[in-house]
Amino acid sequence: MHIVVTGGAGFIGSHFCEQLIARGDRVTCVDDLSSGHIDNIYALLGSPNFAFIEQDVSTGITVTGPIDAVAHLASPASPPDYSRRPLDTLAVGSRGTENALNLAYEHGARFLLTSTSEIYGDPKVHPQREDYWGNVNPIGPRSVYDEAKRYAEAVTFAYRRAKNVNGGVVRIFNTFGPHMRAEDGRVVSSLIVQALAGNALTIYGSGKQTRSFCYVDDIVRALMIMIDCDEPGPVNLGNPEELTIVELAELVCEIVGCSVPMTFHPLPTDDPQRRKPDIGYAQQRLSWTPRVSVRDGLQRTVRWFASRPDDVSAAAARLLHLRT
């Protein structure tokens, strides 16, 4: 198949491109490199089945030839990124999604939207099932990402109903692994960077708030299933193993082999208190469940970061500056 992947140079997108190429598909990666990085797809650039187009999908998507599927992964995804670029985040979730949907419509292609657990906001239902409508502050600082993804889901289903586009939606919970940016501000990357640098670990709030962390290989495996089927979703994708942030920090220290203190800072506005996916629907409809444990995934991720000491040092210095 010929598959267009927006955001294909990003963290999850680059892994997805790798797996599509590995199974013999032809991939066109569209990315403006605002949060993705060319290094993530460097190994693919020499493949005759891979093409890269540097383009902001919010302004249009220019891909020629027949297309079998469009996977829309483009978006800032970490809180510091979308807080720094609020209008860009709203644009890629709205105009960018519509441009990707129109491309799929014009070619009669399968469309896959990677949505997020953030559409549940600070949930009042636990664990979160796909039929829960969420608890989102529509004007808060996180709303630019939350509402962009909620709109993206709405317009995907509108295209299914009005234009018969074969669209599918997945809601991805906290994901981690190689190709994360050391300075992206996500909790896993920040804790690993600080632990490797021997700095104190930054914890926001009491650290008792929970998240469910899924290794990137498991998420990509689910995306491969979704791109090949007609499932509309939405489908939760995540690891239902729930950890407090303090428990995650302790596990990172154990794996790195360091003993550093934790420093506690005010919790950001609208930061969710609990987050855990109910993945019964994914198990039933996709025959999918995570295979990589959080510990195993963290060990792989720590090794990957440790192999990039310059990136770790620069990110650690920036985190230390922000904290002080």
| CATH code, domain carrying 302 | 3.90.25.10
233 and 261: one domain? no
On whether both 162 and 199 belong to a single domain, the answer is: no
Query: What is the domain count for the chain?
Result: 2
Is the CB of residue 281 less than 8 Å from the CB of residue 130? Answer: yes
201 in the same domain as 94:
no
Residue 145: active-site member? yes
Look at residue 282 and tell me if it is in a domain.
Answer: no
Give yes or no for a contact between 15 and 217, defined as CB atoms under 8 angstroms apart.
yes
pLDDT of 71-124, one tens digit each?
999 999 888 889 899 999 999 999 999 999 999 999 999 999 999 999 999 999
CA atoms within 13 A on the CB side of 258: 19
Residue 321, pLDDT above cutoff 80: no
Range(s) of the domain holding residue 39: 2-175+213-237
In a domain, 287, yes or no: no
Kindly list the distances between the CA atom of residue 9 and the CA atoms of 34, 45, 114, 222, 294, in Å, as whole numbers in the listed order.
10, 11, 15, 19, 24
The residue-averaged pLDDT of 256-275 equals: 92
CATH number of the domain at 221, please. Answer: 3.40.50.720
Shared-domain flag, residues 104 and 190: no
State the average pLDDT over residues 317-321: 83
53 pLDDT higher than 60: yes
Which of 105, 120, 145, 159 is labelled catalytic?
Answer: 145
Q: What pTM was estimated for this model as a whole?
A: 0.95
Confidence of residue 306 (pLDDT cuts 50, 70, 90): very high
**284 lies in a domain?**
no
Q: Is the separation of the CB atoms in 268 and 227 below 8 Å?
A: no
Residues in Cβ contact with 151 at an 8 Å cutoff, skipping those fewer than 6 apart: 93, 94, 97
Q: What is the pLDDT of residues 33-45, one digit of tens each?
A: 999 999 999 999 9
Q: Which amino acid is at 179?
A: H
* 150 shares its domain with 207: no
Same domain, residue pair 13 and 40:
yes
Domain-located, residue 307: yes
Q: Closest Cα partner for 195 from 267, 265, 251, 264?
A: 251
The confidence score (pLDDT) of residue 43 equals 96
Of 324, 87, 80, nearest in space to 184 by CA: 80
Cβ atoms < 10 Å from Cβ of 42: 11
User: Nearest-CA neighbor of 172 among 90, 93, 279?
Assistant: 279
Helix (H, G, I), strand (E, B) or coil at 300: helix
Q: Which pLDDT does position 290 carry in this prediction?
A: 98
Torsion of CA 234, 187, 301, 314, to 10 degrees: 130
Please calculate the CA angle 113-115-119 and round it to the nearest 5 degrees.
150
* Helix residue spans in the chain (DSSP H): 11-22, 79-84, 86-91, 97-107, 143-163, 187-197, 216-227, 245-256, 280-286, 294-306, 309-323
pLDDT of residue 78: 87
135 and 199 inside one domain: no
Average pLDDT of span 176-188: 94
DSSP, collapsed to helix, strand or coil, labels residue 157 as helix
Separation of alpha carbons 136 and 128, rounded Å: 14
- What would the pLDDT profile of 196-233 be if each residue is shown by its tens digit? 999 999 999 999 999 999 999 999 999 999 999 999 99
The reply to whether 40 and 145 lie within a common domain is yes
Q: What is the pLDDT of residue 182?
A: 92
User: Which pLDDT does position 324 carry in this prediction?
Assistant: 57
Q: Is 87 contained in some domain?
A: yes
pLDDT band at 320 (very low <50, low <70, confident <90, very high): confident
The answer as to whether 286 is a domain residue is no
Could you tell me if 103 and 199 lie in one domain? no
What value does the mean pLDDT take over residues 287-314?
97
Phi, psi of 235 (to 5 degrees): -125, 125
Supply the mean pLDDT for the chain: 96
Q: Looking at this protein, which amino acid is placed at residue 17? A: C
pLDDT given for residue 206 in this prediction: 94
Q: Is residue 198 part of a domain?
A: yes
d(CA 299, CA 126): 28
For 21, the 3-state DSSP assignment is helix
- Rounded to the nearest 5 percent, the helix, strand and coil shares of the chain are 45, 20, 40
Q: Let me know whether 228 and 251 are in one domain.
A: no
